Structure 1
Amino acid sequence: MQRKKFIQLSTAGLVGLSSVSFSHFQSKLSKDDLMGKGNPILVGEGYKLRKKAHQAFLKMKSAALKQDIKLKVVSSYRDYAHQNRIWERKYERYTANGLSPIKAIHKIIEYSTIPGTSRHHWGTDLDIVDGSVKQPRDVLLTKHFHDDGPFTRFKTWMDHNASDYGFHLVYTNKKGRKGFKYEPWHFSYAPSSIPMLNEFKKLDIKTELQKTILMGSSNFTSDFIQQYMNENVLDINPELL
C-alpha cells in the first residue's frame, strides 16, 4: 500500500473513531444525568467528580501545593435530593422570616439553584478554598477572597493558573452580569461542563420545572423560568459557554 494512501485511510479511521466516541459520550447524557437524578460514575476522596475533571483537579492541586496552597473542596457533585434539601431549608427560613413565597425564591436564587438546574449535578464543578490557612467560620463569603482575607493568595493563584488545567470561575464579578451573585470559590472544568451545558439547553426546562412539586414551585411562571434560564443559568463566564 502506498504511504500516502495509508495515511489517508489511517486519518479517516481516527476521525471516524473520534466521532463515534463523542457521539457515544453525548448519548450517555440523559435528562436524569443533567438534572441530578442519574447515577454517574464519580471519583474522588472527600468529594466527587467525573473522571476527567478529577484528573485535571489533581494536577492543579499538585501545582498549587508547590506554592503552599492546599486546594480544599467544600462542595462538588450534588444530586437532586441534596439540592432540594438546600432549597427547602432556605425557603422555610426566608418565609418564616416574613418573606412572601416569590420574594423568598428570588432571595434563594441569589446563590442557590432550583433543584434540577444546578451545575453541581454534572460532576464538573467545585467550590474550593485554601485548606492551608486558618478556616473562617463561614468559608464561602466573598470578603474572605479579597484584601486581607484568608483566601486572597489562593484567589490570586487561581486567577493566574486555573485555566491552565481547564478550570474557570463560573460566576464572575464582571460589571453588568446578572443572575447568581459573584462566587470566587466556584470553578468548573470546561472540557466536560461545556458539553453538559449544551445538552442541558436542549431540555424543555419550563415543562420540567412546572411539573415538579417543590416548595414555592407554584410561582414558577413561564416568564420567571425564562428569566431564570437567561440570567442564572446562561449569564456566566463566557469561557464556559
Structure 2
Amino acid sequence: MGKEEKPLSQDRLKQAIAAINAEQLIGATSDHVVVVSTADSEKVKLQPLVVEAYTNMREAALRAGFELQIASGFRDFQRQQAIWTKKLAASNESERALEKILHWSALPGTSRHHWGTEFDFFDAHGFSSQEGTEKKLQLVANEYEPGGPCYKLYQWLQDHAGQFGFYWPYKGRGNGVAAEPWHLSYAPLASHYQALWQQPESVIYLGEFLRAQNLLGLPLVASRLQNIIQRYSLQVETPPVEATK
C-alpha cells in the first residue's frame, strides 16, 4: 500500500460486492451510484467506494501538480442506447458495421460505465495551461501522448493509479476494443461485475432486456450476443496485483 493511499473499509467493500446484481451490470438502474462532488458536473456519478478512492487519488495528484478531473463516469442503459442508435442508424447495419461500432462504443447493456466503477479522466490544469484556452477535451489518444495536455498526468498515474485500486482495462492489445488511455477502472469492484459475464444467465438476461428495449439492430446482435460479450467484455486487461489489494 502506498503511503499516499488512505485504506478503504474492507467491510464496505464486501457490502458493495454483495449488492452487485444484474440490473447494475447492464445499466438498468442508477441506485448504486452517487454524485462526485469534486467533478465539474453534477451528472458525473460513481459508486461511493469508487468516489472515495478517486478522491484520495485526486488529492495525491493535486500535491504532484495535476488537476485530475472526470469527463465521464456512470452511464445508464438509455444513454448508451442513444449513442448506439445514432451510430448504427448511420451505417448499413452489416456485420462489418457492427464490428466497427463495437471497436469504439459498447453494446448497450455491456458498457463498463454501467457499473459505476469506471471513469474517463483528464488533467484540467493541462488544458488551462495550453495556449488558447478554448481548446476542449476530445478524449483522443494524442491528448495523452507526449506533448498532449494530459500526458504528464497520464505518466504520473502509470506509477500511482494502482495504489488506489485503479487500472486501464483497454490497452488495445489483441482485444476488440480500441485503446483508451483516458479510461480507468476500479479493480476491487469491477472484477466482480466482469465475472458475471461468465454466467449464462447474465447473457440470457441481457438478451431479454435488449428485446424489451427494441434495440436497433437486434437481429444482428442477438445471433452474436455471446461472441460479442466474449470478445468485447471479457477480453480486457488483467488488473495488476497492486490494484486488487
Per the alignment, do residues 163 and 105 of structure 1 end up closer, same or farther by CA in structure 2, a change over 3 Å counting?
same
1:187 Cα deviation (Å)?
0.4
Look up the equivalent residue of 1:40 and give its one-letter code: D
Per the alignment, do residues 39 and 140 of structure 1 end up closer, same or farther by CA in structure 2, a change over 3 Å counting?
closer
Moved more, 195-204 or 82-91: 195-204
1:229 Cα deviation (Å)?
1.8
> Is residue 214 from structure 1 mapped to residue 215 from structure 2 by the alignment?
yes
1:193 to 175, 187, 190: 190
1:163 Cα deviation (Å)?
0.5
Which digits, 9 at most, give the CA deviation of each residue in 1:172-220, with x for residues without a partner? Answer: 143xx21111000000011111122223432535434544221111102
> Is residue 144 from structure 1 mapped to residue 140 from structure 2 by the alignment?
no
Look up the equivalent residue of 1:228 and give its one-letter code: I
Which digits, 9 at most, give the CA deviation of each residue in 1:141-193, with x for residues without a partner? Answer: 1111112222111110111110010000110143xx21111000000011111
Q: Which residue of 2 aligns with 1:126?
A: 119
| Partner Cα distance (1:40, 1:200) in 2 | 21
Moved more, 45-54 or 204-213: 204-213
Look up the equivalent residue of 1:139 and give its one-letter code: Q
> Is residue 233 from structure 1 mapped to residue 218 from structure 2 by the alignment?
no
Alignment check: 8 A CA contact 1:77 1:122 kept: yes
Q: Which residue of 2 aligns with 1:171?
A: 170
> Is residue 58 from structure 1 mapped to residue 51 from structure 2 by the alignment?
no
1:137 Cα deviation (Å)?
3.9
The DSSP-based 3-state class of the residue aligned with 1:81 is helix
Look up the equivalent residue of 1:180 and give its one-letter code: V
| Partner Cα distance (2:33, 2:207) in 1 | 30
Look up the equivalent residue of 1:41 and give its one-letter code: H
Look up the equivalent residue of 1:113 and give its one-letter code: A
> Is residue 41 from structure 1 mapped to residue 32 from structure 2 by the alignment?
yes
Look up the equivalent residue of 1:216 and give its one-letter code: G
TM-score by length of 1: 0.80
| Partner Cα distance (1:117, 1:91) in 2 | 16
Q: Which residue of 2 aligns with 1:67?
A: 64
The DSSP-based 3-state class of the residue aligned with 2:215 is coil
| Partner Cα distance (2:97, 2:216) in 1 | 10
Moved more, 42-51 or 71-80: 42-51
Alignment: residue pair count: 215
Q: Which residue of 1 aligns with 2:160?
A: 161
TM-score by length of 2: 0.79
| Partner Cα distance (1:106, 1:209) in 2 | 19
| Partner Cα distance (2:116, 2:205) in 1 | 21
1:31 Cα deviation (Å)?
1.4
Q: Which structure would you say has the larger Rg?
A: 1
Per the alignment, do residues 63 and 187 of structure 1 end up closer, same or farther by CA in structure 2, a change over 3 Å counting?
same
The DSSP-based 3-state class of the residue aligned with 1:133 is helix
Per the alignment, do residues 42 and 104 of structure 1 end up closer, same or farther by CA in structure 2, a change over 3 Å counting?
same
Moved more, 207-216 or 44-53: 207-216
Alignment check: 8 A CA contact 1:210 1:218 kept: no
The DSSP-based 3-state class of the residue aligned with 1:201 is coil
Alignment check: 8 A CA contact 1:71 1:131 kept: yes
Alignment check: 8 A CA contact 2:24 2:32 kept: no
Unaligned segments of structure 2, at least 5 residues: 1-9, 128-132
Q: Which residue of 1 aligns with 2:3?
A: none
Unaligned segments of structure 1, at least 5 residues: 1-17
